[in-house]
Structure 1
Amino acid sequence: MADIHVKEDLDIIDYLTVGLYRLSFGVSAIAMVLYNVIPFDYASKLLICSSLVAAACMHIYDKKIRWIILGSALFSVCWLMLGIAPILAIGASFLVTSALTIKEYYCFRIYLVRITPVVLILYWLSLLISVSSILTHGFAIASFLLLIGMCIAKFRQPFHFDIGDKSKFQV
């Protein structure tokens, strides 16, 4: 994962992937709020696409962890495309977002994001069991605030923070 003490020379691909990775948190945040405004299918597609982009653009040294996170994102897309149990696709997408927020806490000590996985699980459960719409809206707003905060925090960091030492990446 990232090492803020190493400043590699970044190429255009590095800037592009870091920028897309960071932006995906903002797009996911917007998708959370859109569940309450636009048809469920459109918000789900936006959320799942943003988690796939984040997973494809993440910079994590360990290939097993990368594979698990990217595999969850691909699972999410496949289930969405097949139209089988879209709520599972959303859950897999939330898993990706949760894993990446944990990574961000571990690497950069962005403290507020420690509760993001819990809020996303509660949000997903509220969608799954169709609880009170007020409760679901509350989880949507909480998710939005946490993820938009993550997006802002990430864009305040220099881009090389996300890359770290390129020689440590497992292929």
Structure 2
Amino acid sequence: MANPEHREELDKLDKVSVCFYRFGISLFSIALFGCAFIASHQLKLITLPDNASQVVILVFCLASVFTAANLHVYSKHVRAIIVWSTWLGLLIMLYSAQQNLYWLALGFFFVTFSGIALKESFCFKVYGLKLVPLFLAMNTLFILLEYWQGVLVCSSITGLIMMYLAVQKWRMPLHFDIGIKANYEI
């Protein structure tokens, strides 16, 4: 958790790690907006290229990897749940290329970002951040059911909240994301 009174000395790896973490959050918000565009396309509100869905899924994968691989959480158990959700999502994505289980893989990515949203809500007062897990759970269900109006609404709202979080994260000092190194469980 960010402690403004404490300023940890960061090495280059720490700085790169924090930047990748923040980049992953930024990419995730972009992917959510992409998901909203896909829903709009399904509702015949806009026209997108045929490969738009694959591009959005790839952006979700990249966002999840950047964030999970560079997560800074003191508790090893909480960290394991958040990080392993991404790795399970990637395995399902690779396995299910022909079985159309992308919604399940996205659900695991959404677990990762639900954990991120809850983690960040403890440190920073970003309006709506505690609602992100609810919107992402509903989004997974709506994607499974192909209820595109729900996907459009949930993706748009969550995309706005996560974009606001990303902007706020990029504005704060890098050491806020690391906290106190001695407090990390290995």
TM-score (norm: length of structure 2): 0.85
Instruction: Answer whether contact 2:73 2:79 (CA < 8 A) is retained.
Output: yes
- Supply the distance in 2 between the matched residues of 1:62 and 1:2 (Cα, whole angstroms): 14
| Cα separation, 1, equivalents of 2:151 and 2:63 | 21
Q: Which moved more, 1:65-74 or 1:43-52?
A: 43-52
Deviations 1:40-88 (A, max 9, x none): 2321121122112101101111111111111111001111111252211
Partners of 1:2 and 1:59 within 8 A in 2: no
- The alignment-based identity, stated in percent, is 26
Out of 52, 69, 92, the position equivalent to 2:108 is: 92
> Unaligned regions of 5+ residues in structure 1, if any?
none
Contact (CA 8 Å) 1:122, 1:139: kept in 2 or not? yes
Could you tell me how far apart the structure 2 residues matched to 1:153 and 1:115 are? Answer: 17
Residue 179 of structure 2 corresponds to residue 164 of structure 1: yes
Superposition pairs of residues 1-171 of structure 1, within 5 angstroms: 1-35=1-35, 36=38, 37=48, 39-83=52-96, 84=99, 85-131=101-147, 133-171=148-186
Kept after mapping to 2: 8 A contact 1:3/1:162: no
RMSD: 1.5
Q: In the alignment, residue 119 of structure 1 is paired with which amino acid?
A: F
Distance 1:95 1:130 in 2: 20
Q: Distance in 2 between matches of 1:82 and 1:89?
A: 10
TM-score normalised by length of structure 1: 0.92
- Worse overlay, 37-46 or 83-92: 37-46
Q: Is the 8 A contact 1:48 1:89 kept in 2?
A: no
8 Å contact from structure 2 (residues 74, 184) kept in 1: yes
In 2: Cα distance, 1:158 partner to 1:109 partner: 16
Rg larger in 1 or in 2?
Answer: 2
